């Protein structure tokens, strides 16, 4: 076991939205050694080796993991923050136990943004997806709120190559299975 426990040391209202809270937890152990393994396991993690830190996007916010503390942002209550922290503790320890079977990733992965997605969309702003623009659709795809099948133009033969390119792009952030299956969920972790 790498991480024995955590203690929430601060809870405050989120600066982004006063309905959310942000929580800071102090860790009982230094967990920096697991970062390259978590970086390999988590599709939407951003690892910064020089700091060291690991940031993970959630549907509504973020998690920032440092060697001796974790910041959980944009949750509704302290109980939700504790659920996220409990899950992270389990994930950290499980990943550490399985490290012999994981190829660690020591460098930062490239981030995919909505502007990268919109580059492969038809850019007709047809509104068939229920959104006013293709850029709004791209943002919704990145958030896991829309999937590629929601864009009727991507179903046309003339956009088949763009659709395949989008699937490959979304694979880098763990959204490709949802995009293929038509599922509109973003993997929180």
pTM for this prediction: 0.63
Ranges 1-5, 97-101, 118-122: which has the least confidence: 118-122
For the chain, what are the domain ranges?
Answer: 6-101, 114-181
pLDDT digits (tens, 9 = 90+) for 122-177: 999 999 999 999 999 988 888 778 888 899 998 888 888 888 888 877 766 666 54
114-181 architecture in CATH? Orthogonal Bundle (1.10)
Judge whether 6-101 and 114-181 match in fold. Answer: no
Helices in 71-132 by DSSP H: which ranges?
Answer: 78-97, 114-118
pLDDT digits (tens, 9 = 90+) for 6-25: 999 999 987 667 788 889 99
Residue 178 has pLDDT above 50, yes or no: no
Residue 71 has pLDDT above 80, yes or no: yes
pLDDT at 60: 59
Tell me which of 145 and 72 has the higher pLDDT: 72
Which residues make Cβ contacts (< 8 Å) with residue 56, sequence separation at least 6? 42, 44, 45, 46, 62, 63, 64, 65, 189
Residue 70 has pLDDT above 90, yes or no: yes
CATH 3.40.1350 holds for 6-101: no
Say if residues 133 and 148 touch (Cβ distance below 8 Å).
no
Rounded distance between C-alpha atoms, residue 21 and residue 106, angstroms = 31
């Amino acid at each position: 076991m790498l991480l024995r426990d955590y203690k929430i040391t601060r809870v405050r209202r989120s600066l982004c939205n006063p309905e959310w809270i942000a929580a800071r937890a102090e860790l009982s152990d230094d967990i920096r050694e697991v970062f390259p393994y978590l970086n390999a396991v988590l599709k939407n993690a951003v690892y910064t080796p020089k700091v060291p830190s690991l940031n993970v996007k959630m549907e509504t916010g973020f998690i920032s993991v440092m060697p001796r503390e974790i910041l959980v942002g944009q949750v509704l209550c302290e109980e939700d923050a504790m659920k996220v922290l409990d899950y992270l503790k389990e994930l950290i320890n499980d990943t550490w136990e399985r490290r012999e079977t994981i190829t660690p990733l020591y460098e930062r992965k490239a981030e995919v943004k909505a502007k990268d997605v919109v580059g492969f969309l038809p850019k007709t702003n047809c509104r068939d997806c229920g959104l006013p623009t293709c850029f709004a659709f791209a943002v919704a795809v990145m958030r896991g709120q829309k999937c590629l099948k929601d864009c009727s133009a991507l179903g046309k033969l003339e956009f088949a190559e763009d659709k395949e390119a989008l699937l490959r792009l979304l694979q880098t952030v763990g959204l490709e299975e949802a995009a293929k299956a038509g599922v509109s969920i973003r993997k929180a972790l």
